[in-house]
Structure 1
């Protein structure tokens, strides 16, 4: 829990950990923030429930909520880390009506202190925090810069109008594309972990986090695909897709979204990624989507950005990853 010196005394907020009883108020706070900050995605209630239920974190110690005199949540902070990892993700926000009072700074200081304590307790000497910030949110960026955090990576959101012709990508006959099913879910998880083991900032997804991904309300199993090597039956590549029913309001069009796309090293260079993207586009369009969207690590050395551009995707907005060493 926060110590008094971390929280400005004149804020008239009470501070405590987030509980299940706060879900409605927490969700409403995020909605008020979204009106001001205009993100391209808003956490759903399922995401908030997962924060409190995930075994890797302790919500009593790893969350904080600031409520006003009437019990309305006005700010929050939380941290998250995988067991044994030296990377701690930090998340938080302040009600627009309560900004510019030092609350955001106080929450960030609490996050740093809690992350440092958690890493020390785990015996991890080289810990650091990471926060993702949309370029369109200058206040959040200024807060992190003033704390000594620095930008270490840029990411680009991209979209493609499905009214344009969808490329035809020939797949070698030794492969077939199948839709997601429970039977291949675990193979897709392992394929993802292998495909992303050499990607910047990526950590393996355990069974719990993968299960949440493929049971999330926005997950679309009929749009999520795997390339199967017929000779071995192995998953050579995969694509995970989602649909946010608020996409029209948030980004201006109805969009099918590629959350994850990966090709295992032994099968790279076989045009499996473009084949998956093209098939996903066809499925998006058949179900009434206007656009296909995805996000990319702008500096990814695999050439992902160039692939997406060749497939007709164009940039829409950018975000950045900030990091700060905890020592």
Structure 2
């Protein structure tokens, strides 16, 4: 029997002891929405230990009178200056239609207003979320709450029925695996390349480096041999940080972070990095490779992935809510 009186439900912040329960909620919702598992406890524990995240202020659990987790929200507000945060609200399928989704959105917006104290006056603060395109109720909820649809993100995949084509490297470029101790210049190159991505805010490199190294150190089965970087002499031109494991499909490798710096774009390096990545996965027995991409990528990433043979698996709608008006520090466009 489902309790329909939300006044009987309790709210609290999560702790790391709740990781398994929160993971189960995310996976139940994902199975309902897209028919796939979304995550696993180790991945979620790494996520919730991101430097700068405070579970006490950045998460909300809503539990039934019996103590069952019915809904969860988080604000991933870890980048300085804190003018832009990603957020998610998830309702367990058993408890949808009761108004819990709107309660999550209300909390997210309240959390946004609370966070203004940490942002200098005069700067715009906005929150962003995404959800499966096919979850019509969730999309309608955010639209009804005044969130603006801004774009789509997509998951793309290639099926490797045979050994992939060898990369054709631009003259003077070599691709090799990143070794422990070589991370800093590669992360500098990735951070620079991502400044041309929609919605990105420049942040101090030390903060970016610490967050990304935490990801590397805590990711299950992280394989440095799959983290590729392209070099021209000693200069890092681009990189593909790849993961051997994805929860949704054990036969699929994942391109987690991919970027090429401006001076080396439009020279075939991106395609070469992808083909090298496909080859490394193929040698490890992976017959599928996936990644996520902004469907309206300012750098043309979607077209690159299509040229490499990748196809769209599914789409997510991205919504944005302005918490405070002001000067926008995010990337919205780039020079041709």
Instruction: Measure the CA separation in 1 of the matches of 2:232 and 2:149.
Output: 40
| Secondary structure of 1:294's aligned partner | strand
Distance across 2 between alignment mates of 1:145 and 1:155: 17
1:141-152 map, 5 Å? 141-152=139-150
Select which of 196, 199, 209 maps to 2:197: 199
Matched residue, 2:102: 105
Distance apart, 1:320 and its partner CA: 2.0
The answer to whether structure 1 residue 276 and structure 2 residue 279 are counterparts is no
Does the C-alpha gap of structure 1 residues 95 and 222 become closer, same or farther in structure 2, counting only changes over 3 Å?
Answer: same
The equivalent of 2:19 in structure 1 is 23
- Native 8 Å contact 1:65 1:77 kept in 2: yes
- Structure 2 vs 1, CA of residues 295 and 55 (structure 1 numbering), >3 Å: closer, same or farther? closer
Structure 1 residue 165, shift from structure 2 partner: 5.7
Match for residue 4 of structure 1? Answer: none
Q: What is the CA RMSD across the aligned residues, in angstroms?
A: 2.2
Deviates more, 1:178-187 or 1:97-106: 178-187
Tell me the CA shift for residue 52 of structure 1: 4.0
Q: Deviations over 1:212-235 (max 9, x none)?
A: 3323126442222001212xx121
Match 1:117 to one of 109, 114, 117: 114
1:239 aligned partner: 240
Q: Deviations over 1:160-190 (max 9, x none)?
A: 1211562333224522211122222111110
1:95 aligned partner = 92
Measure the CA separation in 2 of the matches of 1:123 and 1:177: 42
Cα distance in structure 2, aligned partners of 1:78 and 1:103 = 14
Q: How many residues are paired up?
A: 314
How far apart, in 1, do the equivalents of 2:118 and 2:273 lie?
43
C-alpha contact (below 8 Å) 1:19/1:52 kept by paired residues: no
Shift of 1:105: 0.3
Is 1:322 the equivalent of 2:319? yes
Cα deviation code 1:14-67 (max 9, x no counterpart):
111111222222222223222212265623323432454334232212211112
The range that moved more, 141-150 or 156-165, is 156-165
How many angstroms does 1:11 deviate by? Answer: 4.8
Cα pair 1:29 1:73 within 8 Å, conserved = yes
Q: Distance in 2 between matches of 1:319 and 1:13?
A: 30
Change (3 A) 1:155 1:221: same
More divergent stretch after superposition (84-93 vs 275-284) = 84-93
What residue is the counterpart of 1:208 in the other structure?
Answer: 210
Q: After the TM superposition, which parts of structure 1 deviate over 6 Å for at least 4 consecutive aligned residues? A: none
Equivalent residue of 1:89, what SS? Answer: strand
Q: Answer yes or no: is 1:36 the counterpart of 2:36.
A: no
Rounded to whole Å, the distance in 1 between the matches of 2:116 and 2:235 is 38
Residue of structure 1 in register with 2:58 after alignment = 62
Out of 108-117 and 303-312, give the one that drifted further: 303-312
Aligned to 2:329: none
Q: 1:121, CA displacement in angstroms?
A: 4.3
Task: Compute the displacement of 1:258 (Å).
Answer: 1.2
Could you tell me how far apart the structure 1 residues matched to 2:212 and 2:90 are?
A: 26
Q: Find the counterpart in structure 1 of residue 70 from structure 2.
A: 74
Query: Which range is displaced more, 62-71 or 160-169?
Result: 160-169
Specify every segment of 5 or more residues in structure 2 that has no aligned partner in the other structure, as ranges. Answer: 325-336
Higher deviation after alignment, 297-306 or 8-17: 8-17
Q: TM-score, normalised by structure 1?
A: 0.88
Instruction: Tell me the SS of whatever aligns to 1:182.
Output: coil
Query: For the Cα contact (< 8 Å) 2:244–2:253, is it kept in 1?
Result: yes
- CA displacement, residues 224-267 of structure 1 (integer Å, 9 cap, x when unaligned): 2001212xx12111101113353337xxxx21121121111222
> Which residues of structure 1 form unaligned runs of 5+?
1-7
